[in-house]
Amino acid sequence: MNENLIIPTHVGIIVDGNGRWAQMRGLSRSEGHKAGLFRLKEICIYAKELGIKYLSLYVFSTENFKREKKEVQYLMNLFVNLYNDEFQELINNGIKVIFSGRKNPLPRKVLDAMDKIVENSADNSEMVVNFCLNYGGQTELLDMTKKIVQQVVDGKKKIDDITLDTIQENLYQKLPMLDYVIRTGGELRLSNFMLYQASYAEFYFPKIYFPDFKKNDFYYAIVEFNKRNRRFGGNAS
Ligand code: IPE
Ligand code: IPE
Ligand code: MG
């Protein structure tokens, strides 16, 4: 590892390309999801080794419920398996697991597995992994707006006291803004991922399907981040 690399504090990964990875091999889409979600474990642990403090992983969007029932069901069962068993290794690595998204209409068994891993990893402090599951950026902004309006209606907040900090505090999780968003699979879009948090993020779109996204590719992505000149609206340095 290059000691001089700047490591982004909050990295988001849009986990995409599982279906095409499987199709290319003559496998079912389910096989692709299995391969992709198992790859996630390796990527999480490597992120911790790199010194990343927050990793947000987009694994299921609110819109993904539009997919065939069979595919959705397969994914739900896979999540149960990962959070109940497979991701125990994340906990052993000092990783704290949290979730962003709406609970409804996730099945009870998925919610239980999510609660379990959150509880079992709550005292960990090496890195935070935020799974965006049944997550939509637009829905998050809608839910945030409703929470703040409710505080005003209840007399707990004055309109003039609403600031950008109020927005950040009322999103699903209190996280720093994203520094870097990586979308595997080659598509050049956000697909409703962390719209507010990505305001000043750098973007990287490797043409690699997620099940093939290895540690080396992640390292290369961080090298690419180091070539960017972030300005936040100021002058070029
Ligand atoms: C991303 O892979 C995983 C989820 C959305 C759950 P896709 O299933 O979108 O794979 P492609 O984009 O069809 O290849
Ligand atoms: C975005 O991927 C959502 C996740 C990776 C979880 P999609 O495959 O659902 O996005 P579109 O449909 O190509 O925009
Ligand atoms: Mg896709």
Confidence of residue 66 (pLDDT cuts 50, 70, 90): very high
Confidence of residue 121 (pLDDT cuts 50, 70, 90): very high
Q: Is 64 a catalytic residue?
A: yes
Handedness of CA 185, 82, 63, 197 (dihedral sign): negative
Confidence of residue 236 (pLDDT cuts 50, 70, 90): confident
Which residue puts its alpha carbon closest to atom 6 of ligand 1? Answer: 60
pLDDT reading at 237 higher than 80: no
Tell me the CA–centroid distance for residue 132 and ligand 3, in Å. 15
Atom of ligand 2 nearest to the CA of 59: 6
Residue 115 lies in a domain: yes
Tell me the CA–centroid distance for residue 191 and ligand 2, in Å. 6
Give CA separation, 109 vs 78, 87, 224, in Å.
11, 16, 40
pLDDT attached to residue 136:
98
Residue 83 lies in a domain: yes
C-alpha 11/C-alpha 138 separation (Å) is 20
Tell me the CA–centroid distance for residue 207 and ligand 2, in Å. 15
Residue 123 lies in a domain: yes
| Domain around 89 | 10-137+177-225
CATH of the domain at 97: 3.40.1180.10
Atom of ligand 2 nearest to the CA of 15: 5
pLDDT attached to residue 1:
64
Residue 59 lies in a domain: yes
pLDDT reading at 211 higher than 90: yes
C-alpha 196/C-alpha 169 separation (Å) is 12
% residues pLDDT > 90 (the chain):
97
pLDDT reading at 177 higher than 80: yes
> What is the model's pTM?
0.98
Q: Is 160 a catalytic residue?
A: no
Average pLDDT over residues 26-44: 97
What count of other Cβ atoms lies within 10 Å of the Cβ of residue 174?
9
CB 213 within 8 A of CB 206: yes
CB 94 within 8 A of CB 126: yes
Catalytic one among 16, 18, 134, 192? 16
pLDDT reading at 26 higher than 80: yes
Average pLDDT over residues 73-89: 98
Which residue puts its alpha carbon closest to atom 1 of ligand 1? Answer: 16
pLDDT reading at 2 higher than 70: no
Residue 192 lies in a domain: yes
